[in-house]
């Protein structure tokens, strides 16, 4: 098929490359000319494992190109995917839909033949119905469908090429048939293909993210209880995760979640529920959010416990800036939040991350950054592991002990062996562990 992907951020760039990889003719569109130029040269403007190889392969094949014109997109494509961001609106919990609105409005004005617009951006329920009405006014031959994304940064390519489900919210059997054909390779491989109305499709993504956020915050709430009682949250999580009704995934207690999806999606869900008059149904999500933020403050406190109550005049090695490993995304990063908080308390903070340093520098220029783990560790009074990169998990406590000024460790992700580190002479603190 001839498809366009409008918006080439994490979602759009990966979706465009994957759709080209399975054989479609694809045009990626974005207003950011620098981003488009990089993608056209096969250089993703962010770190995502597997994406450079995918871009190189499709570039060589010649069925993926990039541009900046919505008019060109309308003339080229039969199916148009809307993949722009829906950030949290300033001063509000609600989602900012200006980018989605602008794309749909701009694209529809150029459509003069039958075509399908497919929303993939995460939006509050009811957005699709509003956009469909506007499309009917501007481009009566076009139709809207909603196809939520379920990508995880760090595994986005695999999640697109081998999804665990495909959900399409449609207004007609024709739209469902088009999308079933477009995703034919995945459907033939056994991926479940669920057809719903558009409102249900919109809710699927925010409901899934809300559930995952709740599960993470639940185990972090248990970590708070463990800290008060002397219990250990790691074997606690292991034990309850053995219950098949619960399962072990997303039961890793620690610094909590961040990124560009979970925090802003649950807040937007709270805001939309209030608009619909059902805010009590999701009122628990406020506590989910608050539990998550409390873990950041608690991590700062753990460091203070190791240096007699003041960061002033101490060197703090912060290992991690990205909100998760295998990503350079620092949006709502718990690691950077903790680092900035310590810096405001007078600590000499030195940050190292394998991929996210450039983004971190732009967001927090007041912090110091180094380009290697060794540089970060040298002379540190407190070492904090705040993103669970393998490089940090594989550290040798004996060797690292020779580099630092004081053997004080805050394991914000519970990825280190406390027995081994304490045996090597470290004072070890972690969230939810004795």
- In angstroms, the CA 332 to CA 322 distance is 9
Rounded distance between C-alpha atoms, residue 283 and residue 145, angstroms:
29
**Which amino acids are annotated catalytic?**
261
In what helix (H) or strand (E) does residue 268 lie, and over which residues does it extend? Answer: helix 262-276
Distance CA 8, CA 5 (A): 7
Q: How far apart are the first and last CA of the chain?
A: 57
Sign of the dihedral through C-alpha 100, 103, 108, 112 = negative
Cα(219)–Cα(236) distance, integer angstroms: 9
Give me the long-range contacts of 137-140 (CB less than 8 A, separation at least 24).
138/105, 138/108, 138/109, 138/111, 139/108, 139/109, 139/111, 139/112, 139/115
Tell me if 384 sits within 8 A of 366, measured CB to CB.
Answer: no
State the CB neighbour count (10 A cutoff) for residue 199.
Answer: 15
DSSP 8-class letter at 148: -
DSSP 163-220: -S-EEEE-SSHHHHHHHHHHTHHHHHTT--EEEE-HHHHHHHHHHHHHHHHHHHHHHH
Q: What count of residues does the chain have?
A: 434
Asked whether 405 and 315 are in contact (CB, 8 A), the reply is: yes
Three-state secondary-structure class, residue 414: coil
Q: 168 near 195, Cβ under 8 Å?
A: yes
């Amino acid at each position: 098929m001839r498809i366009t992907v409008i918006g080439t951020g994490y979602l759009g760039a990966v979706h465009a490359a994957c759709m080209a990889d399975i054989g479609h003719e694809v045009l990626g569109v974005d207003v950011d000319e620098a981003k488009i130029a990089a993608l056209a040269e096969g250089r993703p403007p962010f770190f995502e494992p597997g994406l450079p190889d995918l871009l190189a392969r499709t570039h060589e094949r010649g069925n993926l190109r990039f541009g900046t014109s919505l008019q060109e997109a309308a003339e080229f494509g039969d199916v148009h995917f809307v993949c722009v961001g829906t950030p949290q609106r300033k001063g509000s919990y609600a989602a900012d839909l200006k980018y989605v609105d602008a794309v749909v409005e701009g694209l529809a004005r150029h459509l003069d033949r039958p075509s399908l617009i497919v929303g993939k951006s995460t939006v509050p329920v009811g957005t699709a119905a509003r956009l469909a009405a506007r499309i009917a006014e501007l481009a009566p031959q076009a139709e809207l469908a909603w196809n939520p994304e379920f990508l995880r940064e760090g595994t986005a390519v695999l999640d697109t090429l081998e999804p665990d489900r495909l959900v399409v919210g449609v207004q007609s059997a024709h739209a469902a048939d088009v999308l079933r054909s477009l995703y034919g390779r995945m459907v033939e491989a056994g991926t479940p293909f669920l057809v719903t109305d558009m409102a249900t499709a919109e809710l699927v993504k925010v409901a899934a993210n809300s559930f995952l956020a709740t599960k993470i915050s639940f185990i972090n709430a248990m970590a708070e209880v463990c800290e008060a009682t002397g219990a250990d949250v790691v074997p606690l999580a292991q034990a309850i995760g053995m219950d098949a009704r619960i399962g072990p995934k997303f039961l890793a207690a620690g610094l909590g979640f961040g990124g560009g999806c979970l925090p802003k999606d649950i807040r937007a869900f709270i805001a939309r529920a209030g608009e619909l008059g059902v805010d009590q149904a999701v009122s628990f999500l406020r506590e989910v959010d608050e539990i998550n933020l409390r873990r950041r403050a608690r991590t700062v406190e753990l460091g203070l416990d190791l240096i007699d109550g003041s960061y002033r005049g101490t060197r703090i090695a912060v290992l991690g800036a990205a909100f998760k490993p295998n990503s350079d995304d620092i949006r709502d990063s718990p690691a950077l939040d903790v680092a900035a908080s310590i810096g405001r308390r007078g600590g000499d903070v030195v940050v190292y991350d394998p991929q996210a340093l450039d983004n971190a520098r732009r967001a927090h220029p007041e912090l110091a950054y180094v380009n290697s783990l060794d540089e970060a560790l040298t002379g540190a009074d407190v070492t904090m592991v705040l993103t669970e990169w393998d490089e940090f998990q594989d550290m040798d406590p004996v060797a690292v002990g020779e580099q630092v000024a004081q053997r004080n460790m805050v394991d914000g992700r519970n990825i280190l062996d406390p027995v081994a580190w304490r045996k090597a002479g470290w004072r070890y603190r972690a969230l939810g562990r004795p």
